[in-house]
Structure 1
Amino acid sequence: MSTKIYSIKHANNILDLFNAEDKLYSSKWFMEFGKFGSEFFNEQEKIIFYVSKKFKFWKWKMVFTIKNDHGVVTELISMNAKKTIYAIDVNDITYELKIHHNKKRSVFKNGDKIAEIDESFLDTDFSDRIKLQLLEEKDLEISFLLFSCLKIGEVEQRGKTIITSQKQLEPNDEPWS
């Protein structure tokens, strides 16, 4: 399996995605009228997605409403009460994001793993950055978008996670590193 490697820099409320030293995408979150929102930019600094984060108490689900630059709206929704699995349907494709032990996340496309994101900072080449491994470059935008959704509201990249028990996280049946 040959994967492409990217790095993500997290500073305050901004995430920047790099291929070597070239910035490809970035996202910036903010609070507006008591709600969290985020804007997602391409390499030309043009907004290509707007995301709003809401917790729906009556359904006990976290919902990220994503609107693209053409006005098309989709939702990334937590699929379990632990908020460790999220899913979204885009153009008849189901993407799933799973949160694993050791600050890792996996992205699946119709059930097949397409990306792994490592926030552990244990890799010496990524001591101050988040590592993103990807099978195909065409899935880079959606993988970074899904990861960006989960980071809305998180300022400190080396801070403690909200989930205290590693047993509550999803098993990583296919670790890449």
Structure 2
Amino acid sequence: MAEDLRIITDISKEEQYLSLIPQIKGLITGEDDQIANLANIAAALKEQFKWFWVGFYLVKGDELVLGPFQGPVACTRIKKGKGVCGASWQQEEVLVVPDVDEFPGHIACASASRSEIVLPVFNNGQVIGVLDVDSEYLSHFDDIDAKYLKEIVSLLDV
């Protein structure tokens, strides 16, 4: 298991992901506790990219319940289909939202959040949660983020 991350910021976003993904694999390989792995992934992403908020919501019945995260306090429960997280869960797809104020039904957990990307986390073909990333900047996330964050959450599908 890796104990320290090698954070490199003077390279392209894609190169940052390519540097970080093997380190995340090292963090979670051999660890079977899902909460520990989610916590380390959230911390690694927050350290590398300095995003406003990074975390996981976990499916509990008909709601997403706040899981491991890095950033300001957050909404604790989200219904299926509600907000960006609930919509990603319901649709089972990645949602990139350039301006959260324009997303119908957006749940404003933090007024400083301006854009968002949410990815479903699968286990044996079932959505078990979502990875939610918020930025204080408009249009902060793109196809590069979607591609590499999808690769990162796929590491959890065991």
TM-score, with structure 1 as normaliser = 0.32
Greater fraction of residues in helix: 2
Greater fraction of residues in strand: 1
